[in-house]
Structure 1
Amino acid sequence: MSTVKAEMGGLNNLLRNIDILKDTTVTAQAAGMAKVCIDVADYAKANHPFQNRTQNLENSIQPDPVEIEDGVIVGPVRAGMDYAAYVEFGTAKNAPYPYLNPAKEANKQNLVDTLKAVQERAQQALKVES
């Protein structure tokens, strides 16, 4: 009986480079998401429909740190006042004055463009490496 052995050194390098590219791309996407979250918060502060008597609600609108779990990037933006949801969604007695959802909607294309740019840079990096 004869045995054939082959060393796959090039394959190991390829797999390592794929992992590095994946990690770099996810990190870049998270950074892009963080920037868009700042834009969402700024939009909500500048374009809210409610009468701002104390500035408390407006000043509490801020992005939280971006989280990455199982390849999913989440960029939360929140308003930190206890009554924030009542303003956004209204109550039985008070009309809603949405400010976060319109800010998110206004920045959807911004997010798409940002993530596309990250993907294009990753594709260019692949072309340079090969």
Structure 2
Amino acid sequence: MANTNVTWTGLSSLMEQIGATAAETIEAASSAMKTTTGQVQAQAKQIAPKRTGFMANNISVDPIQRTASSVTGTIDAKADYSSFVEFGTYKMSAEPFIRPAVSAGQSVFIKTTMDKLKEAATFK
């Protein structure tokens, strides 16, 4: 099973800089994380190697986890052999599908978060 977590921290200093409240900042990041994890899941399913389609069909998104200062999204490849495909073994080369999808999702997350924060910011 390959399990990838993406955590964004440092919300306190960002809130001070833009004048948004903690609730607004967490809500913006949470909404952006939900959008991003959905896109990462779709892309991972698309680029996952498909012999039977089982691995691609078993890539899921866990509910977004929120605290007062962080937001965490989890994309989970539930097939038992997913990590072997993602990272390779001494007998087979890696065929990454989660890591490239997460890399592509980073810019989506940043842009979506910033768009949501602009709506909530006091310096409009």
2:42: which partner in 1?
Answer: 42
RMSD of aligned Cα (Å) = 1.9
Q: Give the partner amino acid of 1:68.
A: R
Q: Provide structure 1 residue ranges, at least 5 long, that are not aligned to the other structure.
A: 1-17
Match of 1:121 in 2: 119
Task: Extract structure 1 runs of 4+ deviating beyond 4 A.
Answer: none
Q: TM-score, normalised by structure 2?
A: 0.77
- Higher fraction of strand: 2
Aligned AA (1:83): Y
Unaligned 5+ segments in structure 2 are 1-18
**Whose RCO is larger (CA < 8 A, sep 6+)?**
2
Alignment of 1:25-104 (within 5 A): 25-48=25-48, 50=49, 52-104=50-102
Largest Rg, 1 or 2: 1
Find the residue that maps to 2:89 and give its secondary structure: coil
Q: Does structure 1 retain, via aligned residues, the 8 Å contact 2:60–2:75?
A: yes
More helix by share: 1
Deviation per CA, 1:73-119: give whole Å up to 9, x if none.
Answer: 11111101111100100111111100000001112111110110121
**Aligned residues with identical type, % of pairs:** 26
Aligned length: 106
Q: What is the CA distance between 1:70 and its match in structure 2?
A: 4.0
1:105 to 79, 103, 106: 103
